[in-house]
Amino acid sequence: MSLEAIETVNRAENENKARKAAAEQEAKERIAQAEKNGLALLEQMRTQAAEEGKRLLREAESRAERQCAKIREDTAKECKAVAGQAEAHMSVAVERIVGKVVNQ
């Protein structure tokens, strides 16, 4: 093989090594960028999930407060009705008690 042919082969090998090194470096950079993008997206999703959780909690608290208010209102009405019934029966109860005390 002539010296010129050997030099041509060496140049081709060196160029291939350089291309391979450049391709490996580019692959490493792409992987690093993909990891960086993935971590940023993960952080964004975590933030969104936390905000969504807070929103859902606020909605649940609001619904619970409305339900509590309704229960308090219904209970107050029931108490008023029971007190009214007790008031209506008070005279009969007093008469019975007084009757039992007097008859003893």
Domain boundaries, the chain: 1-79
Residues 18/24/30/35 CA torsion (nearest 10 deg): -150
More confident residue, 87 or 68: 68
CA 16 to chain centre: 53
Average pLDDT over residues 10-19: 94
pLDDT value of residue 95: 82
At 5, is the pLDDT very low, low, confident or very high (cuts 50, 70, 90)? confident
Question: Percent of the chain scored above 90 by pLDDT?
Answer: 75
pTM beyond 0.75: the answer is no
Count helices and strands in the chain by DSSP H and E runs: 1, 0
